[in-house]
Amino acid sequence: MKKIILLMAALAAMSFAINPVFAASPAGFTSAEIKVNAQVGVSCREIQKGSFPSPLLIDTQTAAEQTFPNSADELVRCTSGTVFTVKISSANGTALDETCTSGGVGDMALQSSVWPSDIIRYTFTCGGDTDGNGRFTGAGYSTNKALGIGIKIAAADAQAAVAHNDYSDTVTLTITY
């Protein structure tokens, strides 16, 4: 039995001594290329809803066009470089999916809820368009794009307005990209 144990110990010692001789040594190397493709999705989202002072105080005794800036601008955030447009529709006017520009969308109407035949025509503007043609350009995840919304009422429309305190309109903005 001692002989077997001694023989096994001798074999084990020889395998440790021989192992480094038979170990793999780097004779060279190989490389591989892996192609990685990516795509950046286009997206836009509303960050802040625009609003106007409530109520708009329309002066019927002025000879000049009246402009009403927003109290909170409409803010949109889009993927960097994404070009988008804003379409405007008026619940009370005839504007339907018209491109909003710095020049504005006419055919908008403030309507009295008690006297529906009493309306005040106005123009809805988007002064923040990139090129004056209603195109806006997104600047990335952390940069909001202000649409620059505003309202203009022509002097003649203001002067013809009938005194009521219940004029309103619902404006629908559709962002297309």
Residue 70 is part of a domain; what is its CATH number?
A: 2.60.40
Determine contact, residues 154/62, Cβ cutoff 8 Å: no
In a domain, 32, yes or no: no
The answer, yes or no, to whether residue 15 has pLDDT greater than 60, is: no
**HEC-encoded secondary structure of the chain:** CHHHHHHHHHHHHHHHHHHHHHCCCCCCCCCCCCCCCCCCCCCEEEEECCECCCCCCCCCCCCCCEEEECCECCEEEECCCCEEEEEEEECCCCCCCEECCCCCEEEEEEEECCCCCCEEEEEEEECCCCCCCCEEECCCCCCCEECCEEEEECHHHHHCCCCCCCEECCEEEEEEC
33-55 confidence digits (pLDDT tens): 999 999 888 899 999 999 999 99
Domain span at residue 125 reads 44-176
For the chain, the domain total comes to 1
Cα–Cα distance list, 90 to 50, 69, 96, 105, 111 (Å): 15, 18, 7, 10, 11
**CA pseudo-torsion sign 91, 94, 97, 103:** negative
Q: What is the pLDDT of residues 98-141, one digit of tens each?
A: 999 999 999 999 999 999 999 999 999 999 987 889 999 999 98
Residue 13 within a domain: no
- Residues 78-103 have a mean pLDDT of 95
Q: Is 41 left (phi over 0), alpha (psi -120 to 50) or beta?
A: beta
Confidence tier at 20 by pLDDT (50, 70, 90)? low
Q: Is residue 34 part of a domain?
A: no
**Residue 2 falls inside a structural domain:** no
5 within some domain: no
pLDDT band at 7 (very low <50, low <70, confident <90, very high): very low
